[in-house]
Amino acid sequence: MTEHVDVLIVGAGISGLGAAVHMQKHCPERTCLILEGRSAIGGTWDLFRYPGIRSDSDMFTLGFSFKPWTQGKAIADGAAILAYLEETVREYRLAERIRFDHTVSSAAWDSASARWTLTVQHAGAERLLTCNFLYMCAGYYDYKEGFTPDYPGRQTFAGTFVHPQHWPAGLNCSGKRVVVIGSGATAMTLVPTLAQEAGQVVMLQRSPTYVISRPAEDRLANRLRRYLPAMLAYQLIRWRNVLLQMFFFNLARWRPEKFRDRLLGMVRHELGPDYDVARHFTPRYRPWQQRLCLVPDGDLFKALRSGRARMVTGHIDRFYAQGIRLQSGEQLEADIVVSATGLKLKLLGGLQVSVDGQPVNLADTFGYKGLMFSGVPNLAVAFGYTNASWTLKADLTSEFVCRLLNHLQAQGKTTVVPVLDDPHQPATPWLDFTSGYVLRAMQQFPKQGKRLPWKLYQNYLKDLLLLRYSRLEDGVLRFSKAPSSGS
């Protein structure tokens, strides 16, 4: 017989584990199962194993709303984050709910029974599972491969070529010449870490990124924990960080030139008046049109000042046997080249969706409050913020899903679907970001509209009101009872 659960969560990373705890707390009578395509929990924090991997958000906002972060460092390394997730699994007894090496390839909705039928690959075989509600927590990128440009002459390179998404175990960089291609958070994490052991590290970027330094430890948070209960201290710091982040984000949008000058002034203070900040740290775009790169304790600047690392800004002409030749004619000799060139975005892990036998192209839909799709019943997705910690939005989304499930039960309904009454309203991309990895993939993503509830605000306070306190019977969500729901 086909196995059935009330709620099926796809993904055992930070979103899926958080979702399962919210289900326990708010929908304890619902049966719930987590399917994870890999053999371990953690998602991003288990997959990425490159040297120095760390959060680019503080753990008081990247951590769960229900579980305080109690370690000393607010900007945590990957191992500490993974340990936090493993502790969550133990505390809430989630292990019995997780099935590893289960990859969901398709989901078919049947309105007559108000059920999803999922095709799942496991141990070389295909099986079916059914559920009443499908909650996708599989992240937003392709776990199988990252984005690697088609570098001319790459096949002639005699050294080691690596993408950080699949870092080789035991790769020895000691005394080696390393070139890290990229200007994002991964490159800025790798460079100071590799500089501690490599003979020479070059960070090669096509164009600069805005960078800001923050202390890895939050002294106020550590002091508060000495005198206050852990959860109270956690919530106070969490709210302080949320409000500060919103203030600085809005300041960057309202006063971009002033904000830009402040960022560049801090870089000049770190690197000195003789460093070419205009070339290497002054982007062509405005602040927060792409995500700011966080440098804890100024480690990147320290590596540059020490001479263990250097920055090169220019375009690649081609690879050759000993390294990389730039269009300027400069040659960068390398034993190891790291292509820290970003992610391949993949919505819902590439899930193929159909409704009543008709395939659904999610790119043709509009996003409802950034978590459901027009015309698609009983399906939600956890999709975090681009300008703040992912978990802030994922937590709110899980709360909303629980509210929705409880409302369905209270009303004796089985089905909820967002209905777009005005399909001709102006459409804008799902994400308002100019990063390359976003622009390459937006044609695969749903659209957003110009007004609620189809507009994404990337604003925690607005989402708090929209998702925690707004009416569910808003005229857009349509509730109904299936003629033969089987429940």
215/234 Cα distance (integer angstroms): 18
Tokens for 126? 């295909």
Position 419: which residue type? V
**Which DSSP symbol is given to 235?**
H
User: What six digits make up the tokens of 218?
Assistant: 């939050």
Please report the pLDDT score of residue 103 as a whole number.
95
Whether the Cβ atoms of residue 346 and residue 367 lie closer than 8 Å to each other = no
Which residue is it, tokens 């801090």?
A: 266
- pLDDT at 437 (0 to 100): 67
**455-481: average pLDDT:** 92
Tens-digit pLDDT profile for residues 23-46: 999 999 999 999 999 999 999 999
Rounded to whole angstroms, the Cα distance separating 358 from 364 reads 13
Arithmetic mean of pLDDT over the chain: 92
Contact of 165 with 146, CB cutoff 8 Å: yes
Q: SS3 for 177?
A: strand
More confident residue, 97 or 438: 97
Residue pair 209/290 in contact (Cβ under 8 Å)? The answer is: yes
CB distance 146 to 322 below 8 Å: no
pLDDT above 80 (res 440): no
Identify the CA nearest to 289 among candidates 446, 429, 462, 140. 429
Residue 159 pLDDT > 80: yes
Residues ≥6 apart with Cβ < 8 Å to 307: none
DSSP assignment letter at 17: H
User: What's the number of CA atoms in the CB half-sphere (13 Å) around residue 92?
Assistant: 21
- Token code pair at residue 391: 């978990």
Phi first, then psi: what are they for 400, rounded to 5°? Answer: -65, -45
**What is the pLDDT confidence band of residue 163, given thresholds at 50, 70 and 90?**
very high
| CA neighbor of 55 nearest in space, from 84, 40, 75 | 75
Q: Using N-to-C axis directions, what is the helix angle for 14-26 and 390-411, rounded to 10°?
A: 40
**What integer pLDDT is reported at residue 434 of this predicted model?**
63
Q: Which residues of 227-247 are buried (b: 16+ CB within 10 A; e: fewer)?
A: eeeeeebbeebbebbbeebbe
Own/partner long-range contacts of 130-133 (Cβ < 8 Å, ≥24 apart): 130/2, 130/3, 130/4, 130/5, 131/4, 131/5, 131/6, 131/7, 131/8, 131/33, 132/6, 132/7, 132/378, 132/414, 132/485, 132/487, 133/6, 133/7, 133/8, 133/378, 133/379, 133/380, 133/401, 133/405
Beta bridge pairs of residue 319: 324
Question: Quick check: 180 and 190 in contact, CB under 8 A?
Answer: yes
**How many Å apart are CA 313 and CA 234, to the nearest integer?**
41
Other residues' Cβ atoms within 10 Å of the Cβ of residue 401 = 25
Q: What are the residues whose beta carbons fall under 8 Å from the beta carbon of 339, sequence distance 6 or more?
A: 146, 148, 149, 151, 161, 162, 163, 164, 181, 182
The highest-confidence range among 52-56, 157-161, 482-486, by mean pLDDT, is 157-161
Query: Within 10 A of 298 (CB to CB), how many other CB atoms are there?
Result: 22
Taking only the tens place, the pLDDT of each residue in 320-374 is 999 999 999 999 999 999 999 988 888 898 899 999 999 999 999 999 999 999 9
pLDDT at 366: 93
Instruction: Please say if the pLDDT value at position 436 is more than 80.
Output: no
Closest CA relative to residue 131, chosen from 119, 142, 139, 140: 119
What is the reported pTM?
Answer: 0.93
Instruction: Report the distance separating Cα 281 and Cα 298, nearest Å.
Output: 14
pLDDT band of 450, cuts 50, 70, 90: confident
- What pLDDT is attached to residue 487? 44
pLDDT tier at 78, thresholds 50, 70, 90:
very high
Share of the chain above pLDDT 70, in %: 98
- At 184 the three-state DSSP class reads coil
- Collect all residues with Cβ–Cβ distance below 8 Å to 5 and sequence separation of at least 6: 31, 32, 33, 129, 130, 131
pLDDT tens sequence across 165-224: 999 998 999 999 999 999 999 999 999 999 999 999 999 999 999 999 999 999 999 999
pLDDT tens readout for residues 1-21: 689 999 999 999 999 999 999
Alpha helix (H) residue ranges in 314-467:
390-411, 436-439, 460-464
Angstrom distance (rounded) from CA 245 to CA 81: 21
